[in-house]
Amino acid sequence: MIDRLVIVGLGLIGGSLARALKKQGAVGEVVGTGRREASLIRGQELGVIDRWTLDLGEAVKDADMVVIAAPTLAAEKVLESLKPHMRPDLIVTDVASVKGSLVAAAERIFGEVPPQFVPGHPIAGSEQSGVEAAKDDLYVGHRVILTPLPNTDAKACEKVRTMWEATGAEVVDMDVAEHDVVLAATSHLPHVLAYGLVDALAQSGSAQAIFRFAAGGFRDFTRIASSDPVMWHDIVRANRNAVLESMDTFTEHLAELRKAIESDDSGAILATFERAKKARDEQFLTQYQVKGKGQ
Amino acid sequence: MIDRLVIVGLGLIGGSLARALKKQGAVGEVVGTGRREASLIRGQELGVIDRWTLDLGEAVKDADMVVIAAPTLAAEKVLESLKPHMRPDLIVTDVASVKGSLVAAAERIFGEVPPQFVPGHPIAGSEQSGVEAAKDDLYVGHRVILTPLPNTDAKACEKVRTMWEATGAEVVDMDVAEHDVVLAATSHLPHVLAYGLVDALAQSGSAQAIFRFAAGGFRDFTRIASSDPVMWHDIVRANRNAVLESMDTFTEHLAELRKAIESDDSGAILATFERAKKARDEQFLTQYQVKGKGQ
């Protein structure tokens, strides 16, 4: 039970967390804060939060837990604003898509990463955004990754885990660097490829014809290119090294496939396509059914 | 009205055409033929076809129209088998995803492309396949591309157009080469990228973790990597030059984006993502809503 929870940056992610915890009776009061007054007003109207303030210091006074529900680069700024208000008994966690850059920022800001800061990342999202889209079952059956550091307080970690488990999520611990490498491969790279492909086609001479004759496969493949450009720009910058590495691995692989196609190496082309289909079908049609959308 | 229609290769595409034409009263008798007896038996049981035979010559006797509803490379073999049974009044069309290779095959087989052969490609499909999945509304609101040649008989062309229009499709004429370039960009390249990405990840050291933490964006992005590997292997081989060219254009574009990420060129990254989102949203959320799936 969290007596007083503060959500910094009230949108789909923070709002859905608040709704889920309220539904489960896992939270007393939820206080909203952030820069967008309209979201906070709307959040209170909708019953997502109980009250709000634009003053971060006032928001976290007497709070047990602060969830920084802001995108990657914005989260760094929130950590900075939080500095004068930090208390040993105030647990802080976040939802940013890149963990290495935020941990580095915490180290820079605080000298060392505060033991009561538990970096986290719920692997959930939606094409929708904003507090209006918040729903109490967003995290059911989804995974939340926590990346505690050697000096992270075990009790703080446990409280963050308990909070997420109350939403119906499965909580998994991971190393900071491993998190960023895995997410680069499964999320950041696909976004870069989708944005890159659509932009390449849009700039080609036959863009009109190309889009006109695109069918459902193309629509699915490029859906993530309709994601928020600012958010993904932040993510790619924050996770630069892992993103570049995943791009290089992919590009090398694609060059091999290109060679096979150019030399009409039927066996190599078929083997690649068959391995891919097998891997995807195995992962998505059986054991690792994941319900998440976006991010 | 087509008095007698022959479908060569009875699956989702040919079966759905037969069902749609029957529903509209646009066809008299539908005769199925092909190599898979089980599909033909099932097709008759389901009422998709009226009768069937394994003998192509018998099937096309007294027929008005033959639809070669076979994948790209198989369609070439069907054309070859059709040769001894061709008549000037027998209209032949097909549904293959690549047009240049089939037109070249027709030229090779017949000396010149027969005037009554109208190459075609319905931009429709489904994750499902087989005659059991055939449905009478598969083509409603979808596009069918015809690629007639200078010597193609205008009446034959008109009959094929009328047939597809009866299914609820919008029929568009296109140049053979343009068709293959456009489809390489919107369909063949995305399949190559999706297969390539999944295979690259499957072969990486952290494949298990990668797939385990893949969310909905990844599932959408890689859906087409669950397509039939043999069919896509055929398509990529048949459309080799256009596929290689589209891969190169994409790779160059990706290299630019990589440079922007490496040099942390915030403006260039954001501009690329924003252009892509704008292009995709414009094409899919407004004028060019296409209902198709697959291919």
ipTM of the complex in this document: 0.89
Under the banding of pLDDT at 50, 70 and 90, the label for residue A208 is confident
What token pair was written down for A210? Answer: 């190309």
CB A100 within 8 A of CB A126: no
- Identify the pLDDT of residue A72: 86
Q: Which residue has the tokens 């539908």?
A: B30
The total of other beta-carbon atoms located within 10 Å of residue A94's CB is 25
Band of pLDDT at residue A199, cut at 50, 70 and 90:
very high
H-state helical runs in B118-239:
154-166, 176-183, 189-202, 207-212, 216-221, 229-238
Domain ranges, ordered by start, for chain A: 2-174, 179-287
Question: Which sign does the torsion angle of CA A132, A137, A140, A144 carry?
Answer: positive
> Quick check: A289 contacting B, CB < 8 Å?
no
- The model's pLDDT over A125-165, given as tens digits with 9 standing for 90+, comes to 666 789 999 999 999 999 999 999 999 999 999 999 999 99
pLDDT exceeds cutoff 50 at A294: no
- Write down the architecture of domain A2-174 according to CATH: 3-Layer(aba) Sandwich (3.40)
Mark yes or no for CB contact A123/B280 under 8 Å. no
Does residue A241 sit at the B interface (CB-CB below 8 Å)? no
Read off the tokens for B117. Answer: 């052969």
- Work out the mean pLDDT of chain A and round it to a whole number: 92
In this predicted model, what pLDDT tens digit does every residue of A263-279 receive, in sequence order?
Answer: 999 999 999 999 999 99
Residue B290 has a pLDDT of 39
Q: Is B119 on the interface with A (CB under 8 A)?
A: no
pLDDT at A16 over 80: yes
pLDDT in tens, A81-95: 999 999 999 999 999
Percent of chain A surpassing pLDDT 90: 83
The crossing angle, in degrees rounded to 10, of helices B12-23 and B154-166 is 80
In sequence order, which residues have a C-beta less than 8 Å from that of residue A49 and are 6 or more positions away?
A7, A10, A15, A18, A30, A31, A32, A40, A43
Structure tokens at A152: 């992270």
Q: Which residue in A273, A274, A285, A286 has the most chain B C-beta atoms within 10 A of its own C-beta, making it the best mutation to test that interface?
A: A273
Query: Which of A 143-172 lie inside 8 A of B, CB atoms?
Result: 143, 145
SS (H, E, C) chain A: CEEEEEEECCCHHHHHHHHHHHHCCCEEEEEEECCCHHHHHHHHHCCCCCEECCCHHHHHCCCCEEEECCCHHHHHHHHHHHHHHCCCCCEEEECCCCCHHHHHHHHHHHCCCCCCEECEEECCCCCCCCHHHCCCCCCCCCEEEECCCCCCCHHHHHHHHHHHHHCCCEEEECCHHHHHHHHHHHHHHHHHHHHHHHHHHHCCCCHHHHHHCCCHHHHHHCHHHHCCHHHHHHHHHHCHHHHHHHHHHHHHHHHHHHHHHHCCCHHHHHHHHHHHHHHHHHHHHHHCCCCCCCC
Angle between the N-to-C axes of helices A176-183 and A240-262, in degrees from 0 to 180, rounded to the nearest 10: 40
Is residue B258 within 8 angstroms of chain A, CB to CB? Answer: yes
pLDDT of residue B293: 32
A209/B189 Cβ within 8 A: no
Amino acid A126: pLDDT: 65
User: How many CB atoms lie under 10 A from the CB of residue A48?
Assistant: 26
A·B CB contacts under 8 A: 313
CA distance A72 to A7: 15
Q: Which CATH code, of 1.10.3660.10, 1.10.1200.10, 2.130.10.10, 3.40.30.10, is assigned to B179-287?
A: 1.10.3660.10
pLDDT string in tens for chain B (295-residue length):
899 999 999 999 999 999 999 999 999 999 999 999 999 999 999 999 999 999 999 999 999 999 999 988 899 999 999 999 999 999 999 999 999 999 999 999 999 999 999 999 999 866 678 999 999 999 999 999 999 999 999 999 999 999 999 999 999 999 999 999 999 999 999 999 999 999 999 988 778 878 888 877 888 889 999 999 999 999 999 999 999 999 999 999 999 999 999 999 999 999 999 999 999 998 876 544 433 333 3
Which helix (H) or strand (E) segment holds residue B65: the answer is strand B65-68
B74: nearest Cα among B48, B98, B42, B91: B98
- Has residue A290 got a pLDDT over 60? no
Q: What is the mean pLDDT of residues A231-257?
A: 96
Which residues from chain B sit within 8 angstroms of residue A128, using beta carbons? none
pLDDT at res. A127: 62
> Per the CB < 8 Å rule, is A199 touching B233?
no
